[in-house]
Amino acid sequence: MSVAEQNAARSSDTARARHRLLDVRKLTKHYPITEGLLRREVARVRAVDDVTFHVDTGETLGLVGESGCGKTSTGRCLLRAIDPTSGEMVFDYGDGRVVDIAKLEGRALKDLRKDMQMVFQDPFSSLNPRWTLLDLVGEPLVAFRVAKGRELEDRVAELLRRVGLRPEYLRRYPHAFSGGERQRISIARALALNPRLVVADEPVSALDVSVRAQTLNLLEDLQQELGLTYIFISHDLSVVQHICDRVVVMYVGQVVEVADTSSLFFTPKHPYTEALLSAVPKPDPDLASSRIVLKGEVADPSNVPKGCAFHPRCPYAVDHCRQVEPKLETLGDGRQVRCHRAHELSLSGVE
Amino acid sequence: MLRRILGRGQPVAAGVPAATAEPTQPLETETEKHDYAVASEWELMWYKFKRHRLALICGVVVLLLYVVAAFVEFIAPYNPEAQNPAAAYQAPTRVHFVDAEGNFHLQPFVYGTTSQRNPDTFELEFVEDTSVIHPLQLFVRGDSYRMWGLFDANLHLFGVEDPNVRLYLLGADRQGRDMFSRIVHGTRISMSIGLVGVVMSFVIGIVVGGISGYFGGTVDLVVQRIIEFIRSMPTIPLWLGLAAALPADWSILQIYFAITVILSLIGWTGLAQVVRGRALALREEDFIMAARLSGTSRTRIIVRHMVPSFMSHIIAALTLAVPEMIIAETALSFLGLGLRYPAISWGVLLQEAQNLRSIALAPWLLAPGAMVVIAVLALNFFGDGLRDAADPYKR
Amino acid sequence: MQNQTVPSDSPLLELRDLRTGFALREGYVKAVDGASFSVARGETIGVVGESGCGKSITARTILRIAGTNDSELGGEALFRRRTRDGRPGEVVDLLKLAPNGREIRSIRGAEIAMIFQEPMTAFSPVHTIGNQIIEAIQLHHPVSKDEARATAIDMLRRVEMSNAERRIDAYPHQLSGGMRQRAMIAMALVCRPQLLLADEPTTALDVTTQAQILALIRQLKAELGMSVMMITHDLGVVAETAQNVAVMYLGKVVEYADVRALFHDPKHPYTQALLASIPKLGREAGARLHPVKGMVPSPFNRPRGCPFNTRCPKAMPGVCDVDMPGPTTIKPGHTVSCFLYGAGDTRTEAAQ
């Protein structure tokens, strides 16, 4: 069966049985800060702290937040690029096999790579400059001994065509390509093994403005054709609103709000989400925004404030927020929010 | 900003979509003539290195020095041990194009020399005998030698046909031996001791540095402290101590190897740090993680991604380590603790220049020092050029 | 009667056909190829464009810190200096000044200041920010160290740096990204320049910090009555801060308009395409994006004719790929360099 047929088969499968592909429960990644020769732990950076969310097949889940919020660490834990401190990441292959990614080792972990791939932010550093496109895009195929020789070339050419690059470029090196094209190469490589889930970490942030739309459209087209599921990590809320079905908002390692995209953007429930939305500069001079300018800076993940991590910057904070850490609670409509005052506040979203 | 995008030495078409690169206008640079899009790392390095004019010239000098080192017997006009008491401290023979009558000769020539005592100062003076012209010729027969221990020959690159006329291009030493021939012979040991020493330090350095960089953590900590300890030891006394411990009855070859070992025992630390630095930096590269996430095995990542990525840096570092070795050997030999007679190296030759009287009388005895300077400078500039070209992808 | 023959509405800075480039080994790069626009007093002008469009080089050329040779410069950059008592003074052509001469140095920092994307490039890591700000003050004003320090603290307070008395003695690395940006703004503004060149001042910052810094620049601009040139690739930032906008593409100003006209009635196909391609926050989100086709050409490989013709959906073969369109005024204050709106002062491109 050719790649295309396999994909077609799978995408019709997924259309029939949309299931929970990945269930992340209480995922935590702490980095100890050590001092001295004996490496005594003096503090810990709570990069990812008790993160829970899930992803269904065929959807695009956005992970948003500012630098240091743990979105990238979360993405890397999911792929076991780094090992989580604790927590579960249950991956359901959909054919009866259900695994906890956090516990996988050796062969099983390698097998997972066939179904989970990553697209990196920086299209320059994520491609080995010494390799040709054939080597780069073909690397996963070679690693899993899927194809070699003539067949490898055909498969890679096919992948290149799929992401809009000419198959004749097989023998070229990445330095001959611009940022936007290199990101296509990265995408082709991520798709080589027909993954179910692609974690895209800021895939368009490093690209020129006029090239971003091409790449976003390509990602959407590929999702349609191949029935892919995306976890889309980004700090750019306009891109997130454009491409994501559901969004997880993170602040200092924690999930503060989870909702489907339109609810989140139009009726945010967490004051941080509201402030984030308000802070985005809008390309429309008439939207003289009544902007909420937050005080202070993102909290230091090695020294998280007591109570709600957001309280020092929150315009709605009350004493309770300073004392007690809020839990992520599920509201009536299935939305989740980590805020004591979620029920009483009426926050404004985008126009 | 633009500069940042273009990169200072980056070849032309970086970022040109290949599709639009179809020449709407001819691109003038040489880089473009070769298809830039399919240029491999080494080709890119070559483009970059080529632009470094000084390094290129020095590269040629280095190459010449090694060619000389390989063919010393053929290039030197005389046997370096051939003595001629009558010619002690003879000044460099002058090479003429115009004879005493004022006629120009296309072929350079020398005059025979006779020595006589100055009746006033009683010093030996050398006077040119302008009656007979001895042209310099290529490929003359002269002293016989055994080439590479394989075959006997007596052909020399250049010289004078008449065996009674001696050519002293760089003068003669106390025993009337030809300095030029001796320096040429010294090239072999002086230039090769650097190479052999560096290869030894490289092996130690790459293993220790690789372990340190790859494992990181506590291993790295311990290795780094050891390296710092070794580096903090004053080198000259250490060499002196080690060299003094060598048995006096060893052959030249044994001493030679012992000296290289001594030099590389210290020299490896710098290389180990280069290797470690590269390995640590590479571990963090996105493309290494990308390879891991593609299911590529650890061995394959090391062999196919990591080693090629630091090979060019290592070669540059090696080139820069060679001159250190040459200087070290020269210093040791000069102090009489390294190689000694009958071995001929630049350092050994410089021993002759140790006393003031001979320098005053025969300043050409310092010529081996000039060779050391030339060789070290050439290697340094060449190495600098290599280092700058070593990362053609730097943005 | 004061006899300054200066009309009060004369521009603070006027660029006329500014050109500059670099002779690199790979060939000559036209970094800026005929940029003309002016900056009025108290105005914020946005300069937008993608990487390699020449927007940063334009700013650096105005300050004469671009590192180009005089021979590469063309056109004029007329700047109205300020007299000692703060009134408009003589007009100088910045491009005619010696790049390290006395006059440009008395302008740099004192009358035109610049802030950068990465504050660490503006500060020396081995001196406290206070000492660096004090040095900047004393460079242009004959004041004592104590007075300068008081001014510096006052300026740090103005940029809303909490605990300014203590933070003045901090080293740059001890501050967070946002705080460093504030310190750099303080240093840039401490001599109350007439013009602030802000080169992507918020690109490296998080959105919430970006909002803080943009608000700060806006507020300080009103307080000090200065003009700002906001250089950015982010159309959102421009829409929120600028009154007039110059859009640059491959070294050329392709469109110049006031901000409303530019966003609501863009004329140049590049501006139109750019606006259509960015995802917008709001109700229409999720609709398919209309990307600009192709990639930004390399500056070494500029297309012949209009720089945008290879990517332009409205390109006219035989016209756009032959000649370079000159600026055409559509209505007062709105100029476009595009053949769709007439030829402008067309220059036929000679063979490169």
Mean pLDDT across the stretch C79-103?
84
Select from B1, B5, B29 the Cβ nearest to the Cβ of C27. B29
Residue B92 is predicted with a pLDDT of 79
Least confident of A29-38, B60-69, C175-184: A29-38
Nearest to A222 by CA among A248, A240, A201, A196: A196
Check whether C3 has a pLDDT greater than 50: no
Q: What's chain B's average pLDDT?
A: 77
Select from B1, B3, B20 the Cβ nearest to the Cβ of C297. B20
Residues B132, B268, single domain; the answer is no
Amino acid at C203: T
User: Is B192 part of a structural domain of the chain?
Assistant: yes
- Residues of chain A in contact with residue B309, where contact means CB-CB under 8 angstroms, are 128, 130
Q: pLDDT, tens digit, for every residue of B267-293?
A: 788 888 888 888 888 888 889 889 988
Check whether B218 has a pLDDT greater than 60: yes
Nearest to B26 by CA among A140, C182, C304: C304
Token pair for residue C61?
Answer: 């050329």
Higher pLDDT, B253 or C157: C157
Nearest to B363 by CA among B178, B76, B14, B92: B92
Check whether B219 has a pLDDT greater than 80: yes
Residue B185 is predicted with a pLDDT of 85
DSSP string, B244-282: HTS-TT--HHHHHHHHHHHHHHHHHHHHHHHHHHHHHHH
Residue A340 is predicted with a pLDDT of 92
Token pair for residue C338?
Answer: 């595009």
Which residue in B has a C-alpha nearest to residue A109's C-alpha?
A: B295
- Note whether C248 contacts A: Cβ–Cβ < 8 A: no
User: Taking CA A284 as the corner, what is the angle to CA C339 and CA C273, rounded to the nearest 5 degrees?
Assistant: 35
Residue B107 is predicted with a pLDDT of 80
Check whether B34 has a pLDDT greater than 50: no
Higher pLDDT, A17 or C346: A17
Nearest to B389 by CA among B137, B120, B79, B45: B45
Residue A258 is predicted with a pLDDT of 94
Check whether C1 has a pLDDT greater than 50: no
How far is it, in rounded angstroms, from Cα C83 to Cα C326? Answer: 36
Type and span of the H or E element at B147:
strand B124-147
Using the beta-carbon criterion (under 8 Å), do B27 and C25 form an inter-chain contact?
no
Select from A180, A214, A284 the Cβ nearest to the Cβ of C239. A284
Name residue C76's beta-bridge partners.
C16
Q: What's chain A's average pLDDT?
A: 87
Interface of A with C in 210-239 (CB under 8 A): 210-214, 216-217, 220, 235, 237-239
Residue C283 is predicted with a pLDDT of 66
Mean pLDDT across the stretch B115-141?
75
Phi, psi of C332 (to 5 degrees): -50, 130
Q: pLDDT, tens digit, for every residue of B70-116?
A: 888 888 788 777 777 777 777 777 777 777 777 787 788 877 777 77
Using the beta-carbon criterion (under 8 Å), do A282 and C291 form an inter-chain contact?
no
Q: What's chain C's average pLDDT?
A: 85
Residues B385, B268, single domain; the answer is yes
Nearest to A249 by CA among A26, A10, A66: A66
Mean pLDDT across the stretch B126-147?
78
Q: pLDDT, tens digit, for every residue of B154-168?
A: 878 887 777 777 777
How far is it, in rounded angstroms, from Cα A293 to Cα A315? Answer: 10
Residue A290 is predicted with a pLDDT of 64
Residues B298, B346, single domain; the answer is yes
Q: How many domains does chain B have?
A: 2
Residue A350 is predicted with a pLDDT of 82
State the residue for tokens 């943009």: C214
Q: pLDDT, tens digit, for every residue of B346-376?
A: 888 888 777 777 777 777 878 888 888 888 8
Nearest to C187 by CA among C162, C159, C206, C223: C159
Interface of B with C in 27-56 (CB under 8 A): 27-29, 31, 51
Q: Is the dihedral of CA A136, A108, A103, A309 positive or negative?
A: positive
Residue B23 is predicted with a pLDDT of 33
Higher pLDDT, B73 or C246: C246
Residue A5 is predicted with a pLDDT of 55
How far is it, in rounded angstroms, from Cα A164 to Cα A217? Answer: 11
Which residue in A has a C-alpha nearest to residue B286's C-alpha?
A: A126
Which residue in C has a C-alpha nearest to residue A274's C-alpha?
A: C208
Mean pLDDT across the stretch C128-147?
89
Tell me how close the Cα of B16 comes to any Cα of chain C, in angstroms.
5
Using the beta-carbon criterion (under 8 Å), do B51 and C352 form an inter-chain contact?
no
Type and span of the H or E element at A40:
strand A40-56
Residue A22 is predicted with a pLDDT of 92
Which residue in B has a C-alpha nearest to residue A132's C-alpha?
A: B38
**Residue ranges covered by each domain of chain C:** 120-190
Residues B149, B237, single domain; the answer is no
Length of chain C: 352
C33 CB-near residues (< 8 Å, 6+ apart): C19, C21, C54, C250, C251, C252
Longest dimension (CA), chain C: 67
Among the candidates B117, B140, B167, a domain finishes at: B167
DSSP string, A95-150: SS-EEEGGG--HHHHHHHHTTEEEE-S-TTTTS-TTS-HHHHHHHHHHHTT---HH
Residue B117 is predicted with a pLDDT of 73
Tell me how close the Cα of A79 comes to any Cα of chain B, in angstroms.
7
Residues B160, B134, single domain; the answer is yes
- Residues of chain B in contact with residue C310, where contact means CB-CB under 8 angstroms, are 20
Residues B297, B217, single domain; the answer is yes
Which residue in C has a C-alpha nearest to residue B11's C-alpha?
A: C26
Nearest to C42 by CA among C80, C1, C15: C80
Residues B348, B200, single domain; the answer is yes
Q: pLDDT, tens digit, for every residue of C285-296?
A: 667 888 888 888
Tell me which residues of chain A have a pLDDT lower than 50. Answer: 1, 14-16
b/e map B278-309, b = 16+ CB within 10 Å: bbeebeebbbbbbbbbbbbeeeebeebbbeeb
The strands making up C74-82's β-sheet, listed across from edge to edge, are: C27-39, C13-24, C74-82, C88-93
State the residue for tokens 């859009």: C247
Q: Which domain holds residue B348?
A: 182-389
Indicate the SS3 state at residue C252: strand
- Note whether B298 contacts A: Cβ–Cβ < 8 A: no
Using the beta-carbon criterion (under 8 Å), do C26 and B1 form an inter-chain contact?
no
Residues B149, B266, single domain; the answer is no
Q: What single DSSP character describes residue A325?
A: P
Chain pair A-C, CB pairs under 8 angstroms? 143
C351 pLDDT tier (thresholds 50, 70, 90): very low
Check whether C347 has a pLDDT greater than 70: no
Select from B1, B12, B31 the Cβ nearest to the Cβ of C57. B1
Preferred mutation among A76, A139, A172, A205 to probe B, highest tally of B CBs within 10 A = A139
Check whether C222 has a pLDDT greater than 70: yes
Chain A adjacent subunits, 3+ CB pairs under 8 A:
B, C
Preferred mutation among A71, A204, A209 to probe C, highest tally of C CBs within 10 A = A209
Select from C22, C31, C352 the Cβ nearest to the Cβ of B25. C352
Residues B225, B318, single domain; the answer is yes
Residue B16 is predicted with a pLDDT of 34
Residue A189 is predicted with a pLDDT of 92
Amino acid at C136: A
